[in-house]
Amino acid sequence: MPVPCGRPPRPPRPTWQHGGVTPATHSSLFPAVPDSADAVLEGLDPEQRAVATALHGPVCVLAGAGTGKTRAITHRIAYGVRAGILQPTTVLAVTFTNRAAGEMRGRLRQLGATGVQARTFHAAALRQLQYFWPKAVGGALPRIVDRKVQVVAEAAASCGIRLDRGELRDVTAEIEWAKVTQTVPADYAPAAAKAGREAPRDPAEVARVYDVYEELKRDRGLIDFEDVLLLTVGILQDRPDIAREVRAQYQHFVVDEYQDVSPLQQRLLELWLGDRENICVVGDASQTIYSFTGATPDYLLDFRTRHPGATVVKLVRDYRSTPQVVRLANGLLTQATGRAADHRLELVSQRPSGPEPRWAEYPDEPSEAEGAARAIRELIDAGVPASEIAVLFRTNAQSETYEQALADAGVPYQLRGAERFFERQEVRRAVHQLRAAARFGGNDALLGDAEDLPGQVRAVLSGQGWSPAPPAGSGAAREKWESLAALVHLAEGFAAARPQAVLAELVAELDERAAAQHAPTVQGVTLASLHSAKGLEWDAVFLVGVAEGMMPITYARTDEQVEEERRLLYVGVTRARERLHLSWALSRTPGGRPNRRPSRFLDGLRPGSGSAAAARGGPGGAGGVEYGTAGTGGADGSWAAARAERAAPRRTRRTVARCKVCGRTLTDAGEMKLMRCEDCPSEMDEGVYERLRSWREVQARRSGQPAFCVFTDKTLMAIAETVPEDPVELARIPGVGMRKLDRYGADVLAICAGQDRAEED
């Protein structure tokens, strides 16, 4: 074919089958804007491509960590827009953070899909509320309260309830939880009990504060963040005309991180949709770590029940982490229980082999921090950028030890999702009180009975909220106690090193530490809690404090709470691309009793802990596509039976997939399709296989798509090994979904019967 304009021909674009898959994550460079709709699909793997081309009807994407979920859904939107199937102004993509929404908008622009709205739930609802409020209610939209905590404090005072700073934060969080779960004040106490929540005060008191808080807002013409969603839901429910207007504007919806939706957000989504089903959701139940805020994975897990015709695509190809990291991540979930565990995904790394995870046990927490700092220093000296290293811990109170250890090792660091230790309000107040006590010395009544320096510190901080035993439950009160306890332990260590030291010297030491950590923020090693690390990734990750009492945390008592702690550790492991370090300490302080043990979650995974316990939930789900029950095609009984079997929900527990030749457990998705190891002898009918390949080439040319979109090589091999004789047998082969059964089933069975459909075409 002549080349237009005399330009040299472009080299063929690399395909997924020939190494052209671009990274699903960790890419700081944006590619050139694709020059066509088809170009948008280039570089996607088969499952990502299935997501991108499933533009109609309900779609559920179950996406494991590092499998390119954002890539898949942004390419889906861009492909639909560039192909003229979706009008950009009718698409609304919602997620949970401004960062995620901004990333989605940026990717869509780079793909040539401008005009698509990508917002958080609250931002999208607020725009609608501002626009429709004058029409629905009249006047201007009430002002959003600037400091919710202050109004809650006034409500508590009106009730005669005295709350300290920690309790105030926790009561505010309880009110937020009640509102996103659509719980009114009168129902708070039974709802909290049913949900297994540990209220910071008597539930009846929390309910009273909640009730008065709502009254104060109404009297002052204020609304809060949760009201934005509640009021939008109310208007859409009460005003059918406004609901119709919104639905006329937005006709296609995409929801990211769907495992984190609350009942209120789900209700808003249902009102946006109406009776339509043009929705695509993406999530991973194994990354549900925010249930304390009202998030629930139930809507993700029940999506197929609510939408029987849904297409379900499972993304399990992990482009982020090495096989060694992925193996550990999969192992963590092997012993999980509960609904999320029953739907876990078995990740398959697509990266070259890397170093094995490193395990370290230390006598105490300062030694653990120093060991991590030394290892980080070695990595930086070996050329790993400090910005590509993270230290992840369970609670923010753990940060101070690592801040100091990194500072001592000359390693720059930055805190994410937490205040610097010495900038926390309770720490600043405590240091102020210690300074005052040091100034008054023997004249301070608090110090009268204290026998040594640690005793003096404990005496002073007991007035600030420190006690020998931690408070029950989680939240701000626990975080405050952890901060004060860290000061007590620091004093104990200081006194052990300098037995003659007095309180004034300890205060001077605290001032020096605080000054050293007030340096300008630098691009250094990230210190972050596991919760704040969600959605991020680094080349090297240090998971510290992986011991009983911290992971799972002591106040995780129910089975559901313990399983969420396991998922939190899973999120931490899957943040690592290449290097993963896990460590724990046998005691908190130097010379303390070594009564700690490694986290139960590591049993069977770390060296010397025995073999892994048997998987309770069976092997994780393999990647692939499952189509809904609304199939089309002939009315022959065998075809109907095949569709029914393929569409029937599998209620029985999955069993471990084993090689049909040698019996080895299979984890690779391709081997699971064949039901045998790649190296085991094959009983494949070579003639059938070659005829299927020839036929596939014809179908690919006819449809203008790559051959693997018809059937992958592994599926053709599985067919040639089975040589099915009827639709039911064909439907049982992995990779043969209902759509392909309807479209290609007759041809495939004819080829298996000896006919050559490629020549007939």
Question: Which amino acids are annotated as binding site for ATP, given as ranges?
Answer: 63-70
User: Which amino acid, residue 236?
Assistant: L
Q: Which two tokens stand for residue 218?
A: 């109404």
Place of tokens 């006598």: 363
Distance in angstroms (rounded) separating the CA atoms of residues 278 and 282: 14
Main-chain phi, psi angles of 396, to 5 degrees: -60, -25
Nearest CA-CA partner of 648 in 673, 631, 666: 631
DSSP codes of every residue in 149-206? HHHHHHHHHHTT----HHHHHHHHHHHHHHHHTT--GGGHHHHHHHHT---SS-HHHH
Q: Output the CA–CA distances (angstroms, integers) from residue 577 to 506, 525, 717, in the order listed.
A: 41, 15, 33
3-state secondary structure of 585: strand
Helices 240-249 and 225-238, axial angle in degrees (round to 10): 110
Nearest CA-CA partner of 196 in 559, 666, 623: 559
Positive/negative CA dihedral, 667, 673, 675, 681: negative
For residues 556 and 515, the answer to whether their CB atoms sit within 8 Å is no
Distance in angstroms (rounded) separating the CA atoms of residues 446 and 468: 17
State the binding site: 63-70
Whether the bond into 552 is cis, omega within 30 of 0: yes
For residues 592 and 600, the answer to whether their CB atoms sit within 8 Å is no
Distance in angstroms (rounded) separating the CA atoms of residues 611 and 603: 8
User: Which amino acid, residue 499?
Assistant: P
Ranges of beta strands (E only) in 268-416 are 279-283, 311-315, 317-318, 348-349, 358-362, 389-393, 413-416
3-state secondary structure of 183: coil
